[in-house]
Structure 1
Amino acid sequence: MTGPGEVGEVGWPDEVASPPAIAATATPAGCGHLRLIATSDLHAQILSYDYYSNRPLFGSGLARIACLIDEARRDAPASLLLDNGDFLQGSALADPDIAGRRGRVHPAIAAFNTLGYDAAALGNHEFNYGLGFLRQAVAGAGFPVLSANVLTAAGSDPLQDRFLCTPFALVSRRLPGMPDGPRAITIGLLGLTPPEILQWDRRHLEGHILVRPMAEAARAWVPELRRRGADLVVCLAHTGVSASRRTNGSDAQAAAIAAIPGVDAVIAGHSHLTFPDGGGHPDPRIDSLRGRIVGKPVVQPGHEGSHLGIIDLWLRPARQGWQVAQSETRLIHGSESIAGLSARTIRAAAAPLRDSLAPDHRAALSKMRRRLGTTTIPLSTWFAQVADCQALRLIGAAKMHHTRRALAATPWAGLPMVALVTAYRCGGHGGPQHYSDIPPGPLSLRHVFDLYPFPNTVTAEIMTGAGLAARLDRTSAIFNRITPGRPDQMLIDPRVPGFSYEVAVGADYRIDLSQPCLRDRAATPGEGRIRDLGIGGRPLAPDERVVVVTNSYLASAHALASDRLVLDDNRLCTDAIAGYIREAGRIGPHRGGGWSFVPMPGTSLLFDTGSGCAGHLGELAALRPEPVGLTEEGFSRFRLHPE
């Protein structure tokens, strides 16, 4: 028997069931079958346990889908198990205090070793804790860790570069079922990392590494892999599939990489979406139903073990090497596929992971349960996108508290201050349980990471009132434009990530949903969605200077000029929040100011949130919420009245 939080807890009955079949189409005559099995964006969600909410995860995580990996391998004797990056950061298991302990292999690397991964690519979050941490982590890998475009020194062309990690790997498999017996095939694996890491983790990487564009590196290396004996080339590209024909940064380079001659298959990732997604697509190159781009198989397996990606390839001997005669791309949905399985079946497949990571699991639980103080109020994010939220006010107050102390003896000490804060756990692709829900009572370190799960540092910049209004206008892109007087209009644009919405804690303002979002266009007086912007009960003049507290990720992403950045002292946001709670001892409501929507009489909005929100409807009193029902995805839908 195991107690709460112990490795091995599942909570499902032990009814007898077999793993779901992951059988492929029958192999055509004269062909061999090769299977690519893929995960991506695991974010150290290894043991299917949420350390921040202190509960097991029943439908995701590597431990939950280990049984699906076993079945996928059993059905395909010639297979490769691959990961597409973002595995070193995300859960308490990846915290440097846990993952960096002397004598222990990083838990994510240990998990990949245990399950026998054949290769993994570097994503962007592998760099969050710096190059020393990354090098120490990958040193424990019993498999190649790949990136062909992250360099320590640039050569005259990509083939002459010096690399941080191995750019490629050549892996052999013997294909059964051939008329003349098993035949060997060599698969070339190429890793590609988002170049934006130089912005997002600038404080760790500037002056230490260079990054080439992904497609540039791939165009050089794909023919080189062929020259070195690869019969097949697979790109592990930490990038997603564009929603339109126009590609946009690291989120949407999969089509460009698939189009490179010599690439046979692509494992995509980064955007936390899934592909194939079964829908239509405006880009004629992209077949969202069959999982093909320019006719080549591409799979993107969600995030945190939500899905397992499968690409089946049937290969026919050619005059020189092999050719792909047929392919099939599938996503295996984790929670749906294991819903009818017995706990015994799931535990048996996950047992090697539980055994190898048991000391890390206990260390993570111990750290996350450190007591900091108490809260007299609930701290939740069920409605953080539509109403002023005490959870976000706590984060903003903590970051401003640290910033005021840091700037006390500087010329900026007397300026007004606000903090831009995001609800990182707010549903979306994370699902209807992906919310913070902290009841009144003790506050532990796990609650801090529940509210703020990323290793960003506190930064501050100087902005004008007009600049702050423009920033708030851009971040309001999460809201659809609403027509006054019409009923039941969807409030949230699902194409915009929830984590991109920022609330200005310490400011007073209203958002006019009847107006279009300015996005990157400069506003003229009277334009835009932001109304009545003020601080401390007085209007903020357009040319008035204000200290805006944010974080290192956003500061780097917006490429701030050095004369605007007034604080970057490497203080982790989580440390600032924990210190604020510890110093205060007791957290109560933060009062005054806040934000709201401009009233729109006769208008109703539809908003989806998590199914556990029932006890928090008082936070929405001003919007008079009416329950509508559950969506197909399990979210609770409400009708709101912005009057």
Structure 2
Amino acid sequence: MSFSLSRRGFLATSAGFIALHPFSANAASNQAHLRIMETTDLHVHVFPYDYYGDRPVDTVGLARTASLIKEIRDEATNALLIDNGDFLQGNPMGDYIAYERGMKEGDTHPVIQAMNTLGFDASTLGNHEFNYGLDFLMKSLAGADFPVVSANVALERGSDPTKDKTLIPPYVILDHTVTDGDGADHAIKVGLIGFVPPQIMTWDRRHLEGKVQARDIVETAKAYIPQMKEQGADIIVVLSHSGIGSADATDGMENAAVPLAALDGVDAILTGHSHLVFPSPNYADFAGADVDAGTLMGTPATMGGFWGSHMGLIDLLVEKDGNEWRVVSATSEARPISRRNEDRSVEALVESDDEVLASVQAEHDETLAYVRRAVGKTDAPLHSYFALVADDPSVQIVSIAQLWYIEQMLKGTEHEGLPILSAAAPFKAGGRGGPEYYTDVPEGDVAIKNVADLYLYPNTARAVRVTGQQVKDWLERSAGMFNQVEPGAQDVVLLNPDFPSYNFDVIDGVTYQIDLSQPSKYDPKGELLDAEASRIVNLAYDGAPLDLAAEFIIATNNYRAGGGGNFPGATPETTVFEGPDTNRDIIVRYIVEKGTISPRADNNWSFAEMDGTTVLFDTGPAAKAYVDQVGLTMEEAGEGPDGFARFRISL
């Protein structure tokens, strides 16, 4: 599309006149409009395609976000496009490249190719960039036509953050040109600095331990921002792959966007990691967040959803005073690529950009072939619609495969002979992913795409050695998923919305019940709330009450064993086996060996009975086909919010 400046307030293009943003239309001779566009948490979603469901979708994909980006570039005279991390891992295309095709020197990763095609100006690293190891990461970054920055990951630590030898450059200062209200061009230096949660040292310990170190985000920012100013940055934009959490800075905090935004010298902040949208009502009650103004601690901020669902946008009106630029006004928003209508249908708001699609077409086709390979059969459906309220076949098969693997791995070791349990959680159980975000594998062939659907992340197998008390506390931690319910209460909302499904571990090998009338022992982050609380009742092993002093092995994954989720007993110190195999590969091997699997839940856990008490549970509408198979006293209770179906459970 060709364009030229026309009468005040409009841009003349080959497609007609486009209304300019007020900052562009009304800028004075010493003022300019600087537009900052953000993508975040793309997780390799270039095509608008659900590889797990093997179907096109309208709610994801950088190719669709690209259309928004091009529209916005047309609306303003000056714009920067920045990615906020977690682009390299997160769907089968990412796994196909990492595990099957590989990255040789000189190769370009498909998501990088798409970003190059779209003309990104810069990016930072997210925590998932480290999932495939440092060698894979660095080979992938080598193909980027744009700078990638991250300030708090160091190969060698110095006396302060500015003396560190960082893995990649901590920041970049872009020489940019802005056009003022009179049409004159001016040079402006835009400093971009990136941060990743220091928890990467736990989450990807196997890849990072002994190779890099991670610093506290806020501490690192305080050190570097004055240096960026000294080196000539007129405007500083923070690329925070860190969510919006507490306004009070604490050492090593994961979600540090609010205290970051409060630092002197920060002119705008891009956030991510949480897979949410800012500004939006999600953050209406957060200290330091002004949803109406689109600011954190008075600093313009945005978070553009996930998987390309939104494009974050910050508009700055900058003014030159002598030799200095300053922000005099700002607006923030997040533009979606789709919307859900009242009839639950999803409507695409933009079409995919053909150029971006073409840039990864070959890898898309290869990924489809990769995920469609059959590895065995199942004689019962595998679904996760009721995984949060009853023992579930999709979680059961993961537990069985983990148990099968760890039993083999511990033979001949000092741990052989200890009872082995297996902990697994549902990854796709609705929540922020929406009413279609569930595992649903029909009876029949099981393909790689189905295994990826059962186990969403490329975690590797681990085993921890724990006491019976730690087994109980592990389950108490999981039981924080549920709100407390008074006996006799009617239609209490069952699930705590702040508790992610991937932290709802079910432990196979023991039997137990969850007493919802009792308070939770732990909060959603795993912090102790009430040391005397006890929701786990009738806990038994091999038909007898569980011995709290006995020792057990729990089969799990590297995320959990590394401390992810803050589960009692799940630490690097209790880890006795670190497998070279991914949990996903283990499931494939198990299915291949068995040929046909029978993944029926064994109902080793349930809710304790509460006469005359009912709770409400929201799940995907497709769950209605499986209600009779769950073993709960349950009935439909109308529509839930945001396209979910609601069920009433009698306890």
Same fold (TM over 0.5): yes
Establish whether residue 93 from structure 1 lines up as the match of residue 108 from structure 2.
no
| Aligned-partner residue type, residue 139 of structure 1 | A
Q: 1:501 to 1:522 in 2, by over 3 A?
A: same
Distance (Å, rounded) in 1 between the aligned partners of 2:184 and 2:607: 70
Match of 1:555 in 2: 561
Q: Secondary structure at the match of 1:633?
A: helix
| Aligned-partner residue type, residue 511 of structure 1 | I
Q: 2:351 aligns with which of 341, 346, 362?
A: 346
Deviates more, 1:157-166 or 1:197-206: 157-166
Match of 1:24 in 2: 21
Provide, for residues 381-415 of structure 1, a one-character-per-residue CA deviation record: whole Å limited to 9, x for no partner: 01100111011110000000000011121232222
Q: 2:626 aligns with which of 607, 611, 616?
A: 616
Match of 2:544 in 1: 538
Displacement of 1:170 after TM fit?
Answer: 1.4
Question: Would the aligned equivalents of 2:380 and 2:600 in 1 still touch at CA under 8 Å?
Answer: no
Match of 1:454 in 2: 457
Match of 2:7 in 1: none
Distance (Å, rounded) in 1 between the aligned partners of 2:78 and 2:243: 27
Q: Secondary structure at the match of 1:612?
A: helix
Q: How does 1:452-601 map to 2 (within 5 A)?
A: 452-519=455-522, 520-521=527-528, 527-557=533-563, 564-590=574-600, 592-601=602-611
Displacement of 1:500 after TM fit?
Answer: 1.4
Distance (Å, rounded) in 1 between the aligned partners of 2:84 and 2:60: 17
Match of 1:3 in 2: none
Provide, for residues 174-218 of structure 1, a one-character-per-residue CA deviation record: whole Å limited to 9, x for no partner: 222433712221110001111111111111111111111111111
Q: Secondary structure at the match of 2:330?
A: strand
| Aligned-partner residue type, residue 88 of structure 2 | L
Distance (Å, rounded) in 2 between the aligned partners of 1:213 and 1:539: 44
Distance (Å, rounded) in 2 between the aligned partners of 1:99 and 1:335: 32
| Aligned-partner residue type, residue 636 of structure 2 | P
Percent identity, aligned pairs only, is 37
User: Number of aligned pairs?
Assistant: 618
Distance (Å, rounded) in 2 between the aligned partners of 1:411 and 1:522: 36
Match of 1:104 in 2: 107
Provide, for residues 260-291 of structure 1, a one-character-per-residue CA deviation record: whole Å limited to 9, x for no partner: 10000000111112211136744552212221
Q: 1:363 to 1:279 in 2, by over 3 A?
A: closer
Match of 1:332 in 2: 335
Match of 1:170 in 2: 173
Distance (Å, rounded) in 2 between the aligned partners of 1:388 and 1:129: 32
Q: 2:634 aligns with which of 621, 625, 636?
A: 625
Distance (Å, rounded) in 1 between the aligned partners of 2:489 and 2:340: 41
Q: 1:524 to 1:561 in 2, by over 3 A?
A: closer
Distance (Å, rounded) in 1 between the aligned partners of 2:265 and 2:474: 43
Computed over aligned residues only, the root mean square deviation of the Cα atoms, in angstroms, reads: 2.3
Distance (Å, rounded) in 2 between the aligned partners of 1:605 and 1:377: 28
Q: 1:634 to 1:401 in 2, by over 3 A?
A: same
Q: 1:191 aligns with which of 180, 194, 200?
A: 194
- Gaps in structure 1 of 5+ consecutive residues: 1-17
Provide, for residues 105-128 of structure 1, a one-character-per-residue CA deviation record: whole Å limited to 9, x for no partner: 111111111111111100111001
Distance (Å, rounded) in 2 between the aligned partners of 1:243 and 1:482: 28
Q: 1:543 to 1:374 in 2, by over 3 A?
A: same
Establish whether residue 634 from structure 1 lines up as the match of residue 643 from structure 2.
yes
Establish whether residue 439 from structure 1 lines up as the match of residue 442 from structure 2.
yes
Match of 1:10 in 2: none
Displacement of 1:563 after TM fit?
Answer: 5.7
| Aligned-partner residue type, residue 462 of structure 1 | R
| Aligned-partner residue type, residue 548 of structure 2 | P
Displacement of 1:373 after TM fit?
Answer: 0.5
Match of 1:401 in 2: 404
Question: Would the aligned equivalents of 2:60 and 2:307 in 1 still touch at CA under 8 Å?
Answer: yes
Question: Would the aligned equivalents of 2:131 and 2:458 in 1 still touch at CA under 8 Å?
Answer: yes
Match of 1:285 in 2: 288
Provide, for residues 463-507 of structure 1, a one-character-per-residue CA deviation record: whole Å limited to 9, x for no partner: 111111111101211111111111111111111222111111222
Q: Secondary structure at the match of 1:446?
A: helix
Displacement of 1:590 after TM fit?
Answer: 4.2
Distance (Å, rounded) in 1 between the aligned partners of 2:324 and 2:249: 35
Q: 1:599 to 1:81 in 2, by over 3 A?
A: same
Question: Would the aligned equivalents of 2:520 and 2:530 in 1 still touch at CA under 8 Å?
Answer: no
Q: 1:328 to 1:368 in 2, by over 3 A?
A: same
Distance (Å, rounded) in 1 between the aligned partners of 2:308 and 2:52: 17
Match of 2:67 in 1: 67
Question: Would the aligned equivalents of 1:244 and 1:281 in 2 still touch at CA under 8 Å?
Answer: no
Q: 1:472 to 1:284 in 2, by over 3 A?
A: closer
Match of 1:256 in 2: 259
| Aligned-partner residue type, residue 562 of structure 2 | S
Distance (Å, rounded) in 2 between the aligned partners of 1:302 and 1:609: 21
Q: Secondary structure at the match of 1:58?
A: coil
Q: Secondary structure at the match of 2:370?
A: helix
Distance (Å, rounded) in 1 between the aligned partners of 2:247 and 2:590: 44
TM-score, scaled relative to structure 1 = 0.92
- Gaps in structure 2 of 5+ consecutive residues: 1-14
Distance (Å, rounded) in 1 between the aligned partners of 2:266 and 2:597: 55
Q: 1:523 to 1:308 in 2, by over 3 A?
A: closer
Distance (Å, rounded) in 1 between the aligned partners of 2:518 and 2:246: 24
Provide, for residues 501-530 of structure 1, a one-character-per-residue CA deviation record: whole Å limited to 9, x for no partner: 1111222110011111111449878x4100
Q: Secondary structure at the match of 2:477?
A: helix
Distance (Å, rounded) in 1 between the aligned partners of 2:581 and 2:66: 37
Question: Would the aligned equivalents of 2:521 and 2:531 in 1 still touch at CA under 8 Å?
Answer: no
Displacement of 1:255 after TM fit?
Answer: 0.8
Q: Secondary structure at the match of 2:311?
A: strand
Distance (Å, rounded) in 2 between the aligned partners of 1:620 and 1:247: 44
Q: Secondary structure at the match of 1:329?
A: strand
Distance (Å, rounded) in 1 between the aligned partners of 2:528 and 2:162: 41
Distance (Å, rounded) in 1 between the aligned partners of 2:511 and 2:130: 36
Distance (Å, rounded) in 2 between the aligned partners of 1:524 and 1:68: 51
Provide, for residues 75-126 of structure 1, a one-character-per-residue CA deviation record: whole Å limited to 9, x for no partner: 1231111111111100111111356244531111111111111111001110
Q: Secondary structure at the match of 1:346?
A: coil
Displacement of 1:631 after TM fit?
Answer: 3.0
Displacement of 1:448 after TM fit?
Answer: 0.7
Question: Would the aligned equivalents of 1:505 and 1:594 in 2 still touch at CA under 8 Å?
Answer: yes
